[in-house]
């Protein structure tokens, strides 16, 4: 009988979900590809059960479209889809960031500064090519901001967007200038937190996410021959 968990204790459905998510982002599972359970089970060397569970989660995240009684297909990730997701992300995350800035304590701000220092250290050591590490530290800073003023109703939506855009980042990388621009924007954002200026933090966050989308769209156009 197949084990429910792999050798490291990770549930098989999570392992295959993460692998499929990365394969879609990299184009290894092509847009509009029909995702057949048996083919996926053979590809990832698992039984159908964790494949089905992984597909359901990927559909909830936006990577896969499931048609009842017909099956699952890879979503076409186009410019309109990315912009639609980003509009929601800007509205929600900038609001939460502004709320957090208004109530942040010195200890919480110190944590943000430490994470940002780690980001800038990683950038100075390896440069913009260490995408995985930079994405990890960028996500850690934004997660620390969200934890200052938790909003459980917004958490699931923001988590979906974070997973989606971070996966795209790891797969696609950054434009040459973007990692340094991120550092500059984070510093401005943390300064707004020091002042407990919620309105300023919200405005900077909106600019920060908008610039991230501009960079991601530029990479998307290059990958699709539209630059």
Which of residues 23, 57, 74 is at a domain's end? 74
Radius of gyration of the chain (CA): 19
pTM attached to this predicted model: 0.87
Q: Give the pLDDT confidence of 133-172 residue by residue, as tens digits.
A: 999 999 999 999 999 999 988 888 888 899 999 999 999 9
Which CATH number does the domain housing residue 202 bear?
Answer: 1.20.120.530
How far apart are the C-alpha atoms of 130 and 125, rounded to whole Å?
9
- Is residue 6 in a domain? no
Please determine, for residue 53, whether its predicted confidence score (pLDDT) is greater than 50.
Answer: yes
Q: Give the pLDDT confidence of 104-131 residue by residue, as tens digits.
A: 999 999 999 999 999 999 999 988 889 9
Domain with 110, as residue range(s), is: 79-223
Q: Which strands, in side-by-side order, build the sheet including 34-35?
A: 34-35, 71-74, 64-67
Left, alpha or beta for 218 (phi > 0: left; psi -120 to 50: alpha)?
alpha
pLDDT (0 to 100) of residue 92: 95
Q: Give the pLDDT confidence of 167-211 residue by residue, as tens digits.
A: 999 999 999 899 999 999 999 999 999 999 999 999 999 999 999
How far apart are the C-alpha atoms of 20 and 64, rounded to whole Å?
10
- Is residue 5 in a domain? no
Beta strand segments in 62-178, E: 64-67, 71-74
Which CATH number does the domain housing residue 19 bear?
Answer: 1.10.10.10
């Amino acid at each position: 009988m197949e084990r429910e968990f792999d050798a490291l204790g990770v549930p098989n459905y999570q392992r295959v979900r993460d692998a499929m998510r990365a394969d879609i982002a990299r184009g290894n599972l092509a847009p509009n590809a029909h995702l057949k359970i048996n083919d996926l089970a053979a590809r990832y060397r698992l039984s159908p059960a964790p494949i089905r569970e992984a597909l359901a989660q990927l559909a909830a995240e936006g990577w896969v479209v499931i048609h009842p009684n017909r099956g699952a297909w890879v979503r076409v990730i186009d410019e309109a889809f990315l912009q639609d997701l980003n509009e929601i992300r800007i509205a929600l995350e900038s609001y939460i960031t502004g709320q957090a800035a208004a109530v942040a304590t010195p200890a919480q701000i110190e944590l943000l500064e430490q994470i940002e220092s780690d980001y800038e250290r990683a950038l100075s050591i390896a440069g913009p090519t260490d995408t995985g590490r930079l994405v990890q530290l960028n996500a850690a800073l934004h997660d620390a901001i969200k934890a200052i003023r938790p909003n459980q109703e917004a958490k699931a939506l923001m988590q979906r967007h974070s997973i989606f855009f971070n996966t795209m980042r790891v797969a696609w990388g950054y434009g040459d200038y973007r990692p340094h621009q991120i550092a500059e924007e984070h510093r401005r954002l943390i300064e707004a937190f020091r002042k407990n200026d919620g309105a300023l933090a919200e405005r900077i966050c909106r600019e920060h996410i908008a610039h991230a989308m501009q960079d991601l769209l530029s990479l998307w156009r290059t990958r699709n021959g539209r630059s």
